[in-house]
């Protein structure tokens, strides 16, 4: 197991404690399941989309919850009335329950979710408040004092 010591970074940074703890927790052996498969894509400057392959699940069998910088997607398949009547020779479509968690950055909000053709789309928006956006600070130049003029004294002319 590889462990990274973030102690030197704590001395020169302020407010990144959460980031370092996330990185430290990720360095522990990752036991996250691989089902269902998903994509994360950037669709604009401040917009993202998570797409999960949830074939066989209905809208009522999937729940999405965002709480404290964590997006949790859960799926639990209900009992199928036709399953008891059928005998499967091969069952390749997984309908097992799942729970997948995504860590969200500060100011990332869930905008919408839709299920189409077995793909669950979750649209995210990074909405940075105006107070936190970078702003340009104008540098004011001091007005030149027009009244301070240095006058030279003219020497009297000699007459020849």
Q: Tell me the whole-structure pTM to 2 decimals.
A: 0.62
Phi-psi region of 155 (alpha: psi -120 to 50; beta: other; left: phi over 0): beta
pLDDT tens for each residue of 1-35: 456 666 666 655 666 666 666 666 665 545 666 78
Domains and CATH numbers, the chain: 1-31 (no CATH), 33-129 (2.60.40.790)
Residue 115, burial from CB neighbour count under 10 angstroms (0-12, 13-18, 19+): middle
Write out the two tokens for 87: 């005998």
Sheet holding 47-53, edge to edge: 38-42, 47-53, 119-126, 108-116
Count the helices and strands in the chain (H runs, E runs).
2, 7
Per-residue pLDDT reduced to its tens digit, 112-139: 999 999 899 999 998 888 777 788 888 8
- The neighbouring-strand residues paired with 66 are 71
Neighbour-count burial for 35-58, b at 16+ CB within 10 Å, e otherwise: ebebeeeeeeeeebbbebebeebe
């Amino acid at each position: 197991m590889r462990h990274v010591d973030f102690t030197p970074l704590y001395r020169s940074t302020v407010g990144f404690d959460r980031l370092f703890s996330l990185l430290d927790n990720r360095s522990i052996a990752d036991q996250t399941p691989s089902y269902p498969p998903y994509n994360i894509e950037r669709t604009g400057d401040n917009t993202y989309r998570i797409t999960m392959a949830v074939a066989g699940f209905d809208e009522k069998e999937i729940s999405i919850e965002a709480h404290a910088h964590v997006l949790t997607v859960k799926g639990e398949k209900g009992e199928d009335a036709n399953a008891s009547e059928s005998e499967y020779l091969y069952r390749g479509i997984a309908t097992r329950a799942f729970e997948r968690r995504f860590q969200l950055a500060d100011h990332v909000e869930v905008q919408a979710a839709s299920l189409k053709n077995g793909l669950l789309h979750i649209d995210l928006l990074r909405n940075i408040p105006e107070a936190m956006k970078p702003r340009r600070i104008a540098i004011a130049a001091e007005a030149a004092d027009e009244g301070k003029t240095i006058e030279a004294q003219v020497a009297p002319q000699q007459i020849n």
